[in-house]
Structure 1
Amino acid sequence: MTEQPRLDVLAVAPHPDDLEILCGGTLALMVKQGYRVGIVDLTSGEPTPRGSLELRKEEAEAARVALGVQVRINLDLPNRELMDGPPARYRLATVFRRLQPRIVIAAAGRTPAASPDHHQGHLIIEAARFYSQLTKWDDRFENTAPYRVPHLVYAPFPFDAEDRHWHGTFVVDISSTFEQKMASIQAYRSQFDPDRFEKVRHFVSGTCIAHGARCGFAYGERFALPAEIGTTDLVNLVTQNQAIAPPNLTPGKDHLPMG
């Protein structure tokens, strides 16, 4: 693997197109904000009824360009047979050690109506974050130095089988990058022909509109946290990102859920 400068954010998911659907707008936004952002696809996504290895590589690169993300890596773990276990953990932890991201975004959730790879990927990412910091094991990680990833953030699948009670959630305003998000999804033409893409666009748009509306945004992407956020300044925590109520509604009077 070619050495890369350390990243601010590294997003990880089982298949090319997962992250575009879950948090592509946020990835594009962070690039515009000046952060170094990377994507790791655990598998190629192949075989599928519609694609090929060569085509999926081309599509993933086109999606990367659409989002402006600086780094994209495919670990070539087995699609359809992705399983949490030491070999997969070592592979991903080695990437964490090399790229030293400040934040890892993990595609998260259990999707029995879709690929079981999603749940296994969730487990691999969490375990690899822990493995990345372990000492006296460097031979398992291509002799890279231990690195502790400071922050883990979940990008939940909107069709998760479980109604999860996360320790914290937040929504990122992607109004300015929503069309980039859709262009990155549309790059996967082998998976989304015109009719199928319209169904995906309808679903993704509705999800982003629903999440964004709670915070007064045209479009939003929802994230979750594995632990509470601590603060010594409540006012700064609540107001530092200029959280706003939806237009023409007064919190309290209109009984609108906030946050």
Structure 2
Amino acid sequence: MANILVVGPHPDDQELGMGGTIAKMASLGHDVLLLDITDGEPTPYGDPVTRAGEADAAAKILSPDPAEHPGGKPVRRVTIGLQNRLVEHTIAARHAVAGVMRAHQSDVVFAPYFEDAHPDHRAVTRIVEDARFDAKLTKLEMPTPQGMTPGQACYPRWLFYYYATHLRWVADPSFLMDITGFLDRKLESIRAYRTQFVLPEKNRGVVEWVEASGRYFGSRIGVTHAEPFFTKEPVGLSDLGVLVGL
């Protein structure tokens, strides 16, 4: 099983972009860790305590039911506490993320797609890309998040990009993940962020849009629901049997 790190600039980005994949991977027994770079505040209806509670609730929703998935693992969540709206690509930020990668011994890392209107999103993706390299450097100490044990230098094998962009365009992904059976859990995890998608009237249509997106991308590969991803590096297949539809 793989250690999967999903990095979000703000709590809710991971759920919006790949909540179905998170739920599916956790149900299969992979170790999924969500890293929030900021606490997402300030926002019009939120505050740090409320937002943290929403983020914890969302992670629980994405975690598998032991009765349904006895081999599953709960989705965990950590933060490094950079300031929302002011995220910058710095060495300190890179090393903070690299410290999480080491402590988690991440095999696969997901980051936001690199083209985005939101400066925090663009900065976080640059931070993650460089942190992946920094994490493998020996004789260089990295900070360890509270509650985690320091880990050895490592180099996550894969870096994939999910779409939670503020640009008004349709993703052109490298591959699609079949999330049939997990979309409802994704939508529920998004609704857990009441301060973002329930209380603000202008954002209440987001859940409906996410549902429509899941149906659209699912139709592209002949399944009910799917999520799009991008990769800059080639993905290797050992068997065509892993392809959907074969």
TM over 0.5: yes
Quote how far apart the aligned CAs of 1:226 are: 1.6
The 1:53–1:158 alpha-carbon spacing in structure 2 relative to 1, beyond 3 Å, is closer
Correspondence for 1:249: none
- 1:117 aligned partner, one-letter code: D
Matched, 1:117 2:112: no
Correspondence for 2:229: 223
Distance in 1 (CA, whole Å) between partners of 2:10 and 2:183 is: 21
CA deviations on 1:228-247 (whole Å, 9 max, x unpaired) are 1345x6xx2xx3224229xx
- 1:95 aligned partner, one-letter code: V
Matched, 1:240 2:241: yes
The 1:74–1:26 alpha-carbon spacing in structure 2 relative to 1, beyond 3 Å, is same
Give SS of 1:240's match.
helix
- 2:42 aligned partner, one-letter code: P
Quote how far apart the aligned CAs of 1:50 are: 1.1
| Gap runs ≥5 in structure 2 | 64-73, 145-149
Query: What TM-score does the superposition give when structure 1 sets the normalisation length?
Result: 0.81
| Gap runs ≥5 in structure 1 | 1-5, 246-259
The 1:193–1:162 alpha-carbon spacing in structure 2 relative to 1, beyond 3 Å, is closer
Residues matched between the structures, number: 230
CA deviations on 1:60-88 (whole Å, 9 max, x unpaired) are 00000000143100111111000111010
Correspondence for 1:137: 140
Aligned CA RMSD, in angstroms, stands at 2.3
Correspondence for 1:256: none
**Aligned residue runs from structure 1 range 102-251, under 5 A:** 102-112=107-117, 115-138=118-141, 140-141=142-143, 144-160=151-167, 169-193=174-198, 195-196=201-202, 198-230=204-236, 236=239, 239-244=240-245
- 2:34 aligned partner, one-letter code: I
Give SS of 2:129's match.
helix
- 1:219 aligned partner, one-letter code: H
CA deviations on 1:9-28 (whole Å, 9 max, x unpaired) are 11001000000000000000
Matched, 1:12 2:7: yes
Query: What TM-score does the superposition give when structure 2 sets the normalisation length?
Result: 0.86
Quote how far apart the aligned CAs of 1:7 are: 5.9
Distance in 2 (CA, whole Å) between partners of 1:130 and 1:162 is: 30
